[in-house]
Amino acid sequence: MASLSWYTLFFATLLFLGGSAIGALAYAFIVAYRQRKPRVGCRVERAPLFESLGGTALPRAQLEISDGEQTYSYDHLQLAQVQVQNQSKQDFDRFEFGLTLSAQDVVIQLEVQTADRHHRVTQLEPSTFSQPQAQVDLSLQPFNRDDTYTLRLLSITAQPNQRLGEITFSSPVAVRFVDLPLLEETLKDSVKSTTISLGPFSFSFD
């Protein structure tokens, strides 16, 4: 009986210690899962507006736009299509994030595509032809799980033959930006259907 009691106590101790260890690991896993940052997928694709699309060479063109006081001339416009997607399980009533362009790259026009009228994008400091922005701060309302917003940035670079540089993402919200796969054909279609609006006038590249 003494031997049986010893074995019983030994196995009970093992079960207790094993259960405690498993419980501690499970608790640590749950805490880590709850504290992980929400994932926000992001994609940036770039294309010059006046260069070859689909293997067809296009002549160099120059676009001049006047706001009534000053004429702006561009011959090296670049289009960047940016997409952000909420890949987390968290819904945001309002989500703020920023885009930072490379040195000497600036945005002169922003075009927004949303799922419906209930999804809105606000540029906190609008880009204009007279006041281009190298840093674009935006607010998405709402940004629920699986929501996707598409932005077209009409940009210029310092040199005519220079490609648009990297665009980095940041946010005051604790999120983790992850890369989405690139869609080259989608970007080419976007370039062909880009429209610049200036007051009552619109300039299309169709």
Query: Quick one: 54 and 154 in the same domain?
Result: yes
What is the domain range of residue 62?
39-204
Per the prediction, the chain carries an average pLDDT of: 76
Domain of 116, CATH number, reads 2.60.40
Q: Are residues 26 and 51 in the same domain?
A: no
The pLDDT value recorded for residue 166 is 92
- pLDDT category of residue 4 using cuts at 50, 70 and 90: low
Q: Which of 13-22, 23-32, 130-139, 151-160 has the highest mean pLDDT?
A: 130-139
pLDDT tens figures, 48-106: 665 544 444 444 556 777 767 788 887 777 889 999 999 999 999 999 999 999 888 99
Q: 6-53, pLDDT tens digit by residue? A: 666 665 665 665 565 555 444 444 434 445 799 999 999 987 665 544
Higher pLDDT, 84 or 186: 84
Q: Mean of the pLDDT values across residues 108-137? A: 90
Give yes or no: residues 53 and 30 share one domain: no
pLDDT of amino acid 54: 47
Those residues whose C-beta lies under 8 Å from the C-beta of residue 184, and which sit 6 or more positions away, are 45
Q: Are residues 49 and 32 in the same domain?
A: no
Whether residue 14 is found in the same domain as residue 107: no
How many structural domains is the chain composed of?
Answer: 2
DSSP code for 104: T
CA distance 140 to 186: 22
Mapping DSSP to helix (H, G, I), strand (E, B) and coil, where does residue 29 land? helix
- The larger pLDDT score, comparing residue 159 to residue 78, is at 78
The whole-number average pLDDT for the span 140-145 is: 96
Is the pLDDT at 148 greater than 90, yes or no? Answer: yes
CB contact set of 12 (below 8 Å; sequence gap of 6+): none
DSSP β-ladder status, 148-156 and 195-198: unpaired
CB of 136 closer than 8 Å to CB of 149: no
